[in-house]
Chains A and B, each alone.
Chain A
Amino acid sequence: MIAYNIEWLDNLLLHDELEAASVENDINDEEKRTALKAYPVGFYTPNFFIRIGLAILTIIIVAFSFGLVSLLVLSNANEKTFGTISIFFGVFCYGILELMVQQKSHYHSGVDDALLCMAGICFIGGINLIGNISISTNCLLIFLFAFYLLCRFANALMAIVSVGAFLLLVFFTYIKFGYVAKATAPFLLLLLAAGIYFFAKYLSNKIACRLYKRAFVFVEITALLCGYAAINYFVVNQTANSMFGFTIKARQPLAFAFLFWSLTILLPLVYIFRGVQKKDAVILRVGLILIAAIVFTIRNYYTFLPIEMMLFICGAIMLIVFFGLIRYLEPPKFGFTSAVLANTNNIGNINIEALIIAETFSGTQQPTSNDTNFGGGSFGGGGGTGDF
Chain B
Amino acid sequence: MDRTLFTKLHSLGLISDASLENIRMRIANQLFSLYWELRAILYIGVLLLSGSIGILIYKNIDSIGHAAILLFIVLISAGCFAYCFKKSPTFSLQKVLPPNSFFDYILLLGCLTFISFVGYLQFQYQVFGNRFGLALFIPLVVLFLTAYYFDNLAILSLAITNLAAWAGIAITPARILADNNFDSSTIIFTGLLLGIVLIATGIFTKQKKIKAHFDFTYTNFGTNISFISCLTAMMHFERSYLLWFVLLAGISYYFYAKAVKEKSFYFLLIMSLYAYVGVSYVIMRFLFYTINGDIGGLAMACLYFIGSAIWLILFLIKMNKKLKAL
Contacts and interface: CB of A to CB of B under 8 A. Distances in A.
Interface in A361-388: 361-362, 364-369, 372-377, 379, 381-384, 386, 388
A341 B31 contact: yes
Q: Which range contains the number of A residues in contact with the other chain? A: 35 or more
A288 interface: yes
Contact of B45 (A38, A47, A111, A315): A315
B48 A279 contact: no
Interface in B285-326: 295, 298-299, 302-303, 305-306, 309-310, 312-313, 316-317, 319-320, 323-324
A337 interface: yes
A50 interface: yes
A319 B305 contact: no
Contact of A279 (B19, B32, B136, B180): B32
Interface in B228-269: 228, 232, 264-266, 268-269
A53 B313 CA distance: 8
A60 to B, nearest CB: 5
Contacts of A355: 157
B14 A365 contact: no
B162 A365 contact: yes
B201 interface: no
Contacts of B48: 311-312, 314-315, 318
A337 B30 CA distance: 10
Given A54-B313, A315-B49, A49 B268 contact: yes
A319 B35 contact: no
Given A311-B55, A351-B153, A26 B22 contact: yes
A319 B306 contact: no
B158 A375 contact: no
Interface in B202-222: 216-217, 220-221
A311 B52 contact: yes
B139 to A, nearest CB: 7
Contacts of B269: 49-50, 52-53
A71 B51 CA distance: 52
A24 B156 CA distance: 31
A184 to B, nearest CB: 35
A358 B157 CA distance: 6
A27 interface: yes
Nearest to B180: A372
Contact of B221 (A60, A310, A382): A382
Q: Which range contains the number of B residues in contact with the other chain? A: 35 or more
Majority DSSP secondary structure for residues of B touching A: helix
Given A57-B312, A368-B123, A374-B187, A336 B167 contact: no
Nearest to A56: B273
Contacts of B316: 46, 50, 53-54, 57
Contact of A60 (B43, B123, B309): B309
A31 interface: yes
A239 interface: no
A322 B302 contact: no
B164 A374 contact: yes
Given A57-B313, A68-B299, A325-B38, A338 B108 contact: no
Contact of A308 (B52, B154, B180, B303): B52
Counting chain B CB atoms within 10 Å of each CB, the highest count among A111, A309, A340 belongs to A340
Interface stretch (B2-10, B63-71, B72-80, B83-91): B2-10
Contact of B217 (A38, A309, A382): A382
A64 B280 CA distance: 13
A376 B165 contact: yes
Contacts of B153: 351, 354
A315 B47 CA distance: 7
Contacts of A374: 164-165, 167-169, 187, 190-191
B303 A68 contact: yes
Interface in B20-73: 22-23, 26, 30-56, 59
Given A46-B317, A316-B49, A322 B38 contact: yes
Contact of B302 (A49, A71, A381): A71
B225 interface: yes
Contacts of A20: 1
A47 B265 contact: yes
B14 A386 contact: no
Contact of B35 (A17, A26, A340, A360): A340
A255 interface: no
23 contacts: A17-B5, A26-B26, A35-B14, A46-B316, A58-B309, A61-B310, A307-B55, A308-B59, A312-B53, A314-B45, A318-B42, A322-B38, A356-B43, A357-B43, A362-B161, A364-B54, A364-B112, A374-B168, A374-B187, A375-B165, A376-B165, A382-B157, A383-B220
Given A71-B298, A365-B139, A386-B228, 12 more contacts: A31-B14, A54-B317, A71-B295, A312-B48, A315-B48, A321-B41, A364-B116, A368-B119, A369-B136, A379-B161, A382-B221, A384-B224
Q: Which 9 A-B pairs have the closest CB atoms?
A: A374-B168, A376-B165, A318-B45, A315-B48, A358-B157, A311-B52, A315-B49, A384-B224, A312-B52
